[in-house]
Chain A
Amino acid sequence: MKNMNKVKIFLELVVILSFVLLLSACPPPPEPWEPTPYEWPKPFGDRPWFPTTMNIPADNPMTVEGVELGRYLFYDTRLSGRSDCDMQMSCATCHLQEKGFKVGIDHPKFIGGHPRGLPDTQYPEGKLTPHYNLPLVNLVFNMNGYLWNGMIYNGNPNLGNAAYGVPAEPQYHLRNIESLVWMGIYAQHEMNGTVDSTVAMIKTITKNPSYPDLFKAAFGDEEITYDRISKAIAQFIRSIVSYNCKYHQWVRKEITNLTPQEYRGYTIFMSEKGDCFHCHGDPVLLTTNLFYNNGLDTVFSDPRDRYGVTKNPMDKGVYKATSLINCAINAPYMHDGRFKTLEEVINHYSDGVHYSAYIDPLMKWVAYGGTQLTDTEKADLLTFLNTLTDYDLLTNPAYKRPADLITGCE
């Protein structure tokens, strides 16, 4: 009996030991993927500053990891899908942080700040963009449509765009910033490439950075797809917000030192004397994000004006009122870059407004050619516009080119 008990105990020990060995041989369960929700700046303490309505699609929530991947892709010139340095281009090629994410009139490659696409046999110098570009700042708060004519908007039923070489397939809708990414890749006047070559290129990059690691952090696994590329870049672009120019600080009463000339300029801007505020006066965004005919011309032949989108006859010669944040450093101005300096812009609104049947009623001084400012008033207004430069945005490390991004074409 005693021996039987000993045997039983021994067998039990063997079973338990075997079980323990079996368990230790199993691989550990995978760590759950938990991206970090993105937190927006709160410049006004408990008081809301930014609009709370944000143009973020449900299938692309903002995460820290998504924004970071997007930052690398935004600056990576291999996004164009080529390895030849002369055929590389990134979003940052035309949207420079130091120019408020516009091109800038003194761009080293694009004369006068007019971007060109990558060359091909039809355009050996590269095709000029139909419009000058807009700043990629505070876009997340724009619910009224992107581009000068608002062509990219939520609820747009259109697919693809033949003029941009983009296929009319369901994934190529025209609804949000994600659409701007693939338009940038396809368009002959931009990267002049294909999404297939872009994806193939990004897949080859495993060092500086390791894209598989970045994609895993952002999306849960290492798979690299065009959809994920566009989502990540869109997240980064949405993260670019401006709230700290001198005027913003003054509105929030963090500073009180507008100079007398700046204050005079402010009163011109914010009264019907200069009458800038009806279209550009939102104290946070410095734009309504709406569309106006601002008296640039009397004849309208641009197929890409607002009429080109809405087919409303009253929308001829109508374009987006851009944000004036950083306007002092991001010439040239207007959809066709016709004004090279802010002085020229002020002169237009003061003395050079052209009447047409489509002019917006807010341009009510058109009967006099404009607001008829004196030279002193123009100078005051210009001084105020200089308070709209957000130096924090222009140098924010969160928006900079990653230091460890090495493309081989630096």
Chain B
Amino acid sequence: MRIKIENLRKLLNSLRIIAAIALVFLLFGCPDKPAEPKPAGKVQFVFEHFVDGVQALYNQMAYTNASGNSWELSEVQWFLSEVTLNKKDGNKLKLNKWIDYHYIDTDIPSTFTWDVEDSVDVGDYESVSFVFGFKGEKNIPFMFVNPPESQMFWPYYLGGDSGGYHYMKLNGFWLDSSQYRRAFNFHLGVGQYQDENGNRPTDEDGNFYFVQNWFTVTLPAAFKMEDSAKVQITVRMNLEKWFTTPNNYNHDDWGPDVMENQKAMKLISENGQDVFTISKILNL
């Protein structure tokens, strides 16, 4: 049988096209292999409340602060947010894949434990940072609709658009200079700007000015995260420190209410810098 060269050429061209198509499929058609999961573990935070080195007692006039006030603790409710785990190599891991805040309430023991959903990369960590309360741009009115968080709302009149919620309510009683048992509401949140006459000036649109009182805390916390491990970090609030260092806070001077007293809240915010410690780190 005689084969025409032209037919052979046609055959060769067809084979080339087929080969090219096959090559394209080979390069791009095969599905990607699933990525190997990065080795990671989990973190659990536990929150405890101490006074003078001992687990806090409630509803008992058991304490004396640095200013000499005898005082008792009724309850404390507070937020922390933007928790970040800081690695030795300088990398930071912000725990914000699900929620980036936690609410702690001594009336609700279930809030003392927070199992963080985020995966935590393996490696050596050296500290934990968090914001006490919320930064202004995150402290949005109405962002919480359900209790108990919604009950921490800070009135719009006192905080505006960047002051939706209390950072903390620390409620209790103290013995005043007449030994009379008086209630105090040691509350921290957004302050109102007041002029030297105690008036609240407004901008041209009638909006008040506000002062942010949140602060960031960084606590030494050395731990090694291994693959599939769970590390428990206990954050302790040392309540006596709210009333001292750098400012000795005297209830007789400031009285029972501070939400509209930016001078008082500034002192409280400054005192808050050393209120927290990491008391324990455990591998669970």
| A positions within 8 Å CB-CB of B | 47-53, 143-144, 251, 266-267, 270-272, 275, 277-278, 281-284, 288-290, 314, 355, 359-367
Contact = CB atoms under 8 A, between A and B. Distances in A.
Contacts of B119: none
23 contacts: A48-B142, A144-B147, A270-B157, A271-B155, A272-B185, A272-B260, A281-B153, A282-B151, A283-B142, A283-B156, A288-B151, A355-B181, A361-B183, A361-B184, A364-B182, A364-B185, A364-B256, A366-B182, A367-B176, A367-B180, A367-B182, A367-B183, A367-B256
B124 interface: no
A355 B182 CA distance: 9
B110 to A, nearest CB: 13
A272 B259 contact: yes
A266 B171 contact: no
B150 A271 contact: no
A364 B181 CA distance: 10
Nearest to B74: A361
Contacts of A359: 183
B1 interface: no
Given A47-B142, A290-B151, A362-B171, A314 B59 contact: yes
A282 B183 contact: no
Contacts of B184: 361, 364
Contact of B257 (A143, A272, A282, A314): A272
Contacts of A289: 147
A283 B142 CA distance: 9
A266 B259 CA distance: 16
A283 B152 CA distance: 12
Nearest to B171: A361
A40 to B, nearest CB: 13
Nearest to B261: A272
A20 B75 CA distance: 78
Contact of B183 (A48, A49, A366): A366
A281 B155 contact: yes
Interface of B: 59, 74-75, 142, 145-147, 150-151, 153, 155-158, 171-173, 176, 180-185, 256-257, 259-260
A362 B176 CA distance: 17
Contacts of A53: 146-147
Contacts of B151: 282, 288, 290
Contacts of A270: 155-158
A188 B284 CA distance: 56
B172 A361 contact: yes
A210 B145 CA distance: 40
B42 to A, nearest CB: 26
A350 to B, nearest CB: 15
Nearest to A279: B151
Given A270-B155, A288-B151, A362-B171, A48 B260 contact: no
A385 B189 CA distance: 26
A266 B142 CA distance: 18
A49 B145 CA distance: 7
Contacts of A50: 145
A259 B147 CA distance: 31
Nearest to B180: A367
A283 B157 CA distance: 12
A362 B156 contact: no
Nearest to B256: A364
Given A53-B147, A270-B156, A364-B183, 17 more contacts: A48-B142, A48-B145, A50-B145, A51-B146, A51-B147, A271-B155, A271-B158, A271-B260, A272-B257, A272-B259, A275-B257, A277-B155, A281-B155, A355-B181, A362-B185, A364-B182, A364-B184
A266 to B, nearest CB: 7
Nearest to A287: B151
A266 B256 contact: no
Given A283-B153, A361-B74, A52 B185 contact: no
B146 A364 contact: no
Q: Which 9 pairs show the lowest CB-CB distances between chains A and B?
A: A364-B256, A270-B155, A364-B183, A361-B171, A361-B183, A272-B257, A53-B146, A270-B157, A361-B74
Nearest to B143: A48
Nearest to A49: B145
A363 B150 contact: no
Given A47-B142, A52-B145, A282 B172 contact: no
Nearest to B142: A47
Contacts of B155: 270-271, 277, 281
Contacts of B147: 51, 53, 143-144, 288-289
Contacts of B185: 272, 278, 361-362, 364
A144 B146 CA distance: 12
Contacts of A47: 142
B192 to A, nearest CB: 9
Nearest to A48: B145
B146 A361 contact: no
A282 B257 CA distance: 19
A251 B142 CA distance: 10
Of B59, B145, B156, B185, chain A has the most CB atoms within 10 Å of the CB of B145
B156 A51 contact: no
A402 B72 CA distance: 55
B59 to A, nearest CB: 6
B173 A361 contact: yes
A289 B275 CA distance: 31
Contacts of B176: 367
Nearest to A288: B151
Nearest to A283: B153
A355 B156 CA distance: 30
